[in-house]
Structure 1
Amino acid sequence: MTDTQTKAKNGGPMIIGLTGSIGMGKSTVASMFEAAGVPIFDADAEVRAMQGPGGELIPAIEAAFPGSTNDQGVDRDALGKHVFGDKAELARLESIVHPAVGAKRAQFLADNAATPIILFDIPLLFEGGGHKAVDCVVVVSAPPEMQRERVLARPGMTVEKFEHILGLQTPDAEKRKGADHIIDTGKTLAETQAQVAALVKKLRSK
């Protein structure tokens, strides 16, 4: 079993996998877990940091894809021109990024080995098969009309972009079926926070 699959039954902390489709409020819920004292590993945030100004992945990415970085870190448009539509080049990029994220995750697990529960914030938990490597799946969900309203209010978002993103994600109904627990964000922030607090208390009691 790899470090990404270290589970509570092996003596480590209980690992929660938090996920939710676009516009469901996953980031808000993740911050509520963090406020409740649950350590969170956000792989996307780690990648952004490692690819940002002075990031540790910048030298390797620049060496593999010349002209794809600048003093602000990775130039996403420039990097995209190297890898878009080219599976071999995309795999080359992933071979740089994935091991680095794995090392960060392993360190996170080691740092929190004595913690009762920890949380992995994984947007594509089901799509990437990550639900098989956690102890508990928590899905953040809201009514479709509320999801649509939230997403279309984002700067630069269009109906076409929204529908394209939805097409790439596991449908909310399927996520809910695969969940151990569901956090409903179609309510007030206070009600959502109460759901999170109750769930944290329940999981800690285990």
Structure 2
Amino acid sequence: MIVLGLTGSIGMGKSTTARMFAEAGVPVHDSDEAVHRLYAGEAAPLVEAAFPGVMDAGVVDRARLGERVLGNADALKRLEAIIHPLVRADADAFLAKHRNAGESVAVLDIPLLFETGGRARVDKVVVVTAPPEIQRQRVLARPGMTDEKLAAILARQVPDAEKRRQADFVIDTGQGLAAARAEVEAIIAELTSKPAC
């Protein structure tokens, strides 16, 4: 089974592209969705112990947690030390399940793939990109997003140009949904028509 890592900076259209892989029949593990599940489950007491007051009715309140960690490198490191191993275990279980089911390709949707050493866990990398003005427009349209928050997030991410340089495949979502879907289908066709090198 070929493990395809899907990544891209904030606002590049990664979630939409992940849905396109899923709609084409490729199993997709969404790291963000796994974090949501973990914040409502086994990670909640661990995060609350590290950051008292961020839990509400047994679930981590992401807004409260964000106030504590965004822009604070030490706090972010503490949070990542809790969350990353749990997300990785979740992804490993997902891969084992689909490998046993005989799937030929599975996608790991990892927002910080390059930043967290995720390159070693995948066979090929797809980077989703878009022109900077489209990225900025998409991100600033999100509720509660500000220029300052966007700057703090981008400061933690490997620059888009560097991600594209390291990618096996690049999908430009600035060209529209139909073009992105065609790219997804072309990647799937390439990966399933010959053995991975």
Q: Normalization by structure 2: what TM-score?
A: 0.83
Structure 2 unpaired stretches of 5+:
none
- 8 A Cα contact 2:91 2:108, kept in partner: no
Asked if 1:101 corresponds to 2:87, the answer is: yes
Q: 1:25 aligns with which of 1, 6, 13?
A: 13
Q: Distance in 1 between matches of 2:35 and 2:98?
A: 20
Q: Distance in 2 between matches of 1:82 and 1:162?
A: 16
Deviations 1:29-87 (A, max 9, x none): 010001111111122211211212xx233344445655442315013466568778584
Amino acid at match of 1:138: V
Asked if 1:133 corresponds to 2:121, the answer is: yes
Q: 1:69 aligns with which of 51, 55, 65?
A: 55
* Pairing 1:52-201 to 2, within 5 Å after superposition: 52=40, 55-62=41-48, 67-71=53-57, 73-76=59-62, 85=72, 87=74, 93-94=79-80, 96-113=82-99, 114-201=102-189
**Alpha-carbon distance change, 102 to 162 in structure 1, aligned in 2, over 3 angstroms:** closer
**Alpha-carbon distance change, 187 to 105 in structure 1, aligned in 2, over 3 angstroms:** same
2:186 aligned counterpart, secondary structure: helix
- 8 A Cα contact 2:31 2:111, kept in partner: no
> Which structure has the bigger radius of gyration?
1
Q: Distance in 1 between matches of 2:47 and 2:37?
A: 14
1:155 aligned counterpart, secondary structure: coil
CA RMSD of aligned residues (A): 2.5
Deviations 1:9-42 (A, max 9, x none): xxxx111111111111011001000111111112
Deviations 1:127-174 (A, max 9, x none): 112123211010001112221222222222222322232222111111
**Alpha-carbon distance change, 182 to 83 in structure 1, aligned in 2, over 3 angstroms:** closer
Asked if 1:45 corresponds to 2:33, the answer is: yes
Q: Distance in 2 between matches of 1:110 and 1:44?
A: 19
1:21 aligned counterpart, secondary structure: coil
Q: Distance in 2 between matches of 1:83 and 1:176?
A: 28
Q: Distance in 2 between matches of 1:22 and 1:82?
A: 20
Q: Distance in 1 between matches of 2:180 and 2:161?
A: 19
Matched residue count = 191
Residue identity (%)? 54
1:24 aligned counterpart, secondary structure: coil
Structure 1 unpaired stretches of 5+:
1-12
Q: Normalization by structure 1: what TM-score?
A: 0.80
